[in-house]
């Protein structure tokens, strides 16, 4: 995995987590909607009870899978932050954090740092080389 691929693991993590959280909420809503039907079916001894219980179990399992995905995203985000922190050049750290962690466009990074677009891209390339060296030392593999 090269430095660019590694850093992109953290890119848009917040949005990815929000999307997964929406899916989790959908599961909970479906479970809440089905649960009263099961109670009613049990009281009437209706055969659909097992079918709906199976659906709820599958929804709970899916919810657990989604929670695990969030956990992995957070771990990746944390790992990328730790790698960025190891860079010696503070400007390079700022550039990488602004773009990959704070989702700023290159124009926004350029404006924030009061540097030309070309200067930011040149420093970004240097920062990627630093990340690449850190990853080689750590022998980081693709996740």
Direct distance between the N- and C-terminal alpha carbons of the chain, in angstroms, rounded to an integer:
9
Provide the CB-side half-sphere exposure for 71 (13 A, CA). Answer: 6
| Angstrom distance (rounded) from CA 17 to CA 82 | 20
Coil, helix or strand at residue 11: coil
| Angstrom distance (rounded) from CA 99 to CA 118 | 15
Number of CB atoms found within 10 A of residue 143's CB:
11
pLDDT given at position 143 = 42
Helices (H) and strands (E) in the chain, counts: 6, 0
| Radius of gyration, alpha carbons of the chain | 23
The structure's pTM equals: 0.75
pLDDT given at position 1 = 77
| Angstrom distance (rounded) from CA 99 to CA 124 | 10
Along the 143 residues of the chain, how does pLDDT read in single tens digits? Answer: 789 889 988 888 888 999 999 999 999 999 988 877 555 555 555 555 677 888 899 999 999 999 999 999 999 999 999 999 999 999 999 999 999 999 999 999 999 999 999 999 999 999 999 999 999 988 765 54
pLDDT given at position 12 = 83
């Amino acid at each position: 995995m090269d430095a660019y691929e590694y850093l992109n693991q953290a890119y848009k993590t917040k949005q990815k987590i929000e999307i997964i959280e929406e899916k989790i909420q959908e599961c909970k809503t479906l479970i809440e909607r089905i649960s009263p039907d099961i109670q009613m079916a049990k009281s009437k001894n209706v055969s659909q009870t097992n079918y709906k219980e199976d659906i709820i179990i599958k929804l709970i399992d899916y919810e657990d899978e989604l929670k695990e995905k969030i956990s992995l995203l957070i771990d990746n985000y944390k790992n990328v932050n730790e790698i960025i922190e190891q860079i010696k050049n503070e400007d390079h750290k700022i550039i990488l954090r602004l773009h990959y962690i704070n989702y700023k466009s290159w124009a926004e990074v350029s404006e924030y740092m009061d540097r030309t677009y070309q200067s930011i891209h040149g420093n970004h390339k240097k920062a990627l080389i630093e990340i690449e060296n850190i990853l080689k030392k750590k022998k980081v593999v693709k996740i």
